[in-house]
């Protein structure tokens, strides 16, 4: 059975899901993956687009077995949702806003309502973003006192508050796994800059999503991330696996 996943997010989500596809292929799992890409990937922007239907986003589509990725221009949220009978719909708040509880309202509820109407059988997943690096001095980090730990706590609280409030099926805890990996101090390429994930950060996203969705232990997956030492890969996979297990039990 080929499962179908639709993600809404920024361009970096596409990078993460390319790795997801490679991880899935190593296990013989088959997926159709769609990514609606928006530079301003706030919940408010996506909710407004549902109302207007303006076709202004790029849509990345990958179907394992065809061995190719296709980019379509001029897509709307409506068009992406209706493109296929998706099994899983995933979205997250824009990173800088993700720890501000009021930024989710009423936009997430509007998005959930639209998805439930058109994809009644799909699981709705809310991603929990990672925090900014302490070195980042952008204005959007100021609201967290330029503290990664303060931002981490705010994001976790905001995301977890939405589960019952907005009828979310489960959380994809990217931020939690990211925080644990940073504390391990073993990986240099978790980020590409002070805001975005690097090679290992993107793998963390893709692999965690894969284990949360399939329930398959990432430690047993045969895909090897290039240029990562074996012992570092084992630490990375163990952190991903332990985080997935903890959140799957909730």
The sign of the torsion formed by the CA atoms of 246, 205, 105, 88 equals: negative
Alpha-carbon gap, residue 66 to 154, rounded angstroms:
41
The predicted pLDDT at position 192 comes to 46
Number of domains in the chain: 1
* pLDDT tens digits for range 142-196: 899 999 999 999 999 999 999 989 999 999 999 999 989 888 766 555 654 555 5
Kindly give the pairing relationship between strand 57-63 and strand 31-37.
antiparallel
Tell me: pLDDT of 248 over 90. Answer: no
The predicted pLDDT at position 135 comes to 80
Buried b (16+ CB within 10 A) or exposed e, 76-113: bbbebbebeebbbbbbbbbbbbbbeeebbeebbbbbbe
3-state secondary structure of 115: helix
Per the CB < 8 A criterion, the answer to whether 115 and 95 are in contact is no
Range of the domain at 109: 3-248
CATH number for 151: 3.40.50.1110
* pLDDT tens digits for range 20-79: 989 998 999 889 999 999 989 999 999 999 999 999 999 999 876 555 788 999 999 999
The predicted pLDDT at position 183 comes to 82
The predicted pLDDT at position 188 comes to 59
Spell out the residues 6+ positions from residue 129 whose beta carbon is closer than 8 angstroms to its own: 92, 93, 95, 98, 155, 174, 175
Indicate the pLDDT class of residue 211, thresholds 50, 70 and 90: very high
Tell me: pLDDT of 1 over 80. Answer: no
The predicted pLDDT at position 63 comes to 76
The two structure tokens encoding residue 16: 């993460």
- Look over the chain and give the mean of its residue pLDDT values, rounded to a whole number: 89
């Amino acid at each position: 059975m080929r499962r179908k996943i639709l993600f809404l997010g920024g361009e970096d989500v596409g990078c993460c899901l390319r790795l997801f596809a490679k991880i899935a292929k190593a296990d013989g799992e088959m997926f159709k993956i769609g990514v609606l890409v928006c530079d301003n990937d706030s919940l408010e922007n996506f909710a407004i687009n549902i109302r207007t239907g303006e076709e202004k986003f790029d849509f990345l589509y990958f179907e394992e077995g065809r061995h190719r990725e296709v980019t379509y221009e001029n897509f709307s949220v409506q068009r992406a949702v209706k493109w296929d009978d998706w099994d899983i719909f995933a979205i997250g708040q824009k990173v800088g806003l993700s720890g501000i509880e009021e930024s989710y309202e009423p936009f997430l509820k509007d998005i959930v309502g639209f998805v439930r109407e058109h994809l009644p059988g799909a699981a709705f997943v809310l991603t929990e973003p990672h925090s900014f690096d302490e070195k980042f001095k952008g204005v959007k980090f100021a609201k967290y006192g330029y503290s990664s730990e303060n931002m981490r706590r705010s994001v976790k609280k905001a995301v977890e508050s939405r589960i019952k409030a907005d009828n979310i099926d489960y959380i994809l805890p990217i931020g939690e796994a990211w925080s644990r990996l940073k504390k391990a101090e073993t990986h240099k390429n978790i980020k590409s800059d002070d805001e975005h994930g690097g090679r290992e950060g993107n793998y963390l996203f893709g692999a965690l999503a894969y284990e949360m969705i399939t329930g398959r232990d990432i430690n047993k997956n045969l895909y090897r991330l290039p240029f990562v030492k074996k012992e570092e890969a084992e630490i990375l996979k163990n952190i991903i696996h332990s985080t997935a297990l903890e959140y799957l039990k909730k």
